[in-house]
């Protein structure tokens, strides 16, 4: 049985993903998954028990993958985000969602992004295009994150704290004139 892992990452906003993609290509990083729409649904109880405990229950659709993830409370060491993560592949996401709802969980938020995944040495690097802008996530051994980010032309001191849903809430507050939806989804 696979044990939960410790997710350690930097999430860095960038004005453009192209220079990072070029840096990855120049370092001969391996493209693991070309850009594809990723759809995420977060679940919680009606009283918000998971959010109150700092945990996240997420069902993700990405390319042909369906994943259920349980994340533990977040801590930060500088800009490095750390949290326990337990994840498993799911054969039927719609059926699993129905099971979660039968157990008393409800979908509380959704978020989308176009994600491109790379392998860079011991690092996983993802290029995310979201409705609020572009981000690069560098995930791997915490002692190597800053050096990996720098080698891709990124400033680790620019790493942001927060999940995409929390960053979206902040973005909506800063842009009240845009009448943005509560979920971080692309407008059709």
Q: What is the mean pLDDT of residues 162-183?
A: 95
* Whether the Cβ atoms of residue 138 and residue 9 lie closer than 8 Å to each other: yes
Contacts of 26 (CB under 8 A, 6+ apart): none
C-alpha angle with apex 182: 48 to 80, nearest 5 degrees? 70
- Beta bridge partners, 62, equal 38, 65
> Residue 165: in which H helix or E strand, if any?
helix 164-174
Query: β-strand 30-44 against 65-71: which pairing, if any?
Result: unpaired
Q: What is the mean pLDDT of residues 55-68?
A: 95
- End-to-end alpha-carbon separation of the chain, Å? 41
Please tell me the predicted confidence (pLDDT) of residue 4. Answer: 62
Q: What CATH class is the domain 7-178?
A: mainly beta
Q: What is the CA radius of gyration of the chain?
A: 17
What tokens were used for 130? 């979201």
Nearest to 182, CA basis, from 167, 161, 168, 163: 168
Does residue 2 register a pLDDT over 80? Answer: no
Contacts of 28 (CB under 8 A, 6+ apart): none
Q: How far is CA 132 from CA 59, 64, 68, 77, 185, in A?
A: 21, 25, 25, 25, 10
Does residue 184 register a pLDDT over 80? Answer: yes
Residue 4 or 75, more confident: 75
Q: What is the mean pLDDT of residues 122-148?
A: 97
Please tell me the predicted confidence (pLDDT) of residue 1. Answer: 45
Confidence tier at 52 by pLDDT (50, 70, 90): very high
């Amino acid at each position: 049985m696979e044990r939960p892992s410790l997710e350690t990452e930097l999430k860095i906003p960038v004005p453009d993903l192209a220079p990072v993609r070029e840096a990855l290509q120049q370092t001969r990083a391996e493209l693991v998954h070309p850009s594809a729409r990723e759809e995420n649904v977060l679940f919680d109880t009606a009283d918000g028990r998971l959010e109150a405990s700092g945990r996240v229950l997420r069902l993700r659709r990405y390319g042909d993958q369906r994943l259920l993830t349980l994340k533990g409370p977040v801590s930060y060491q500088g800009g490095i985000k750390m949290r326990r993560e337990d994840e498993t592949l799911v054969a039927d996401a719609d059926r699993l969602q129905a099971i979660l709802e039968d157990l008393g969980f409800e979908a509380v938020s959704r978020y989308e992004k176009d994600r491109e995944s790379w392998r860079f040495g011991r690092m996983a690097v993802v290029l995310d295009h979201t409705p609020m802008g572009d981000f690069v996530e560098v995930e791997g051994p915490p002692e190597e994150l800053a050096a990996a980010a720098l080698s891709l032309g990124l400033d680790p001191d620019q790493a942001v704290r927060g999940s995409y849903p929390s960053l979206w809430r902040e973005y909506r507050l800063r842009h009240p004139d845009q009448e943005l939806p509560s979920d971080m989804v692309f407008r059709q």
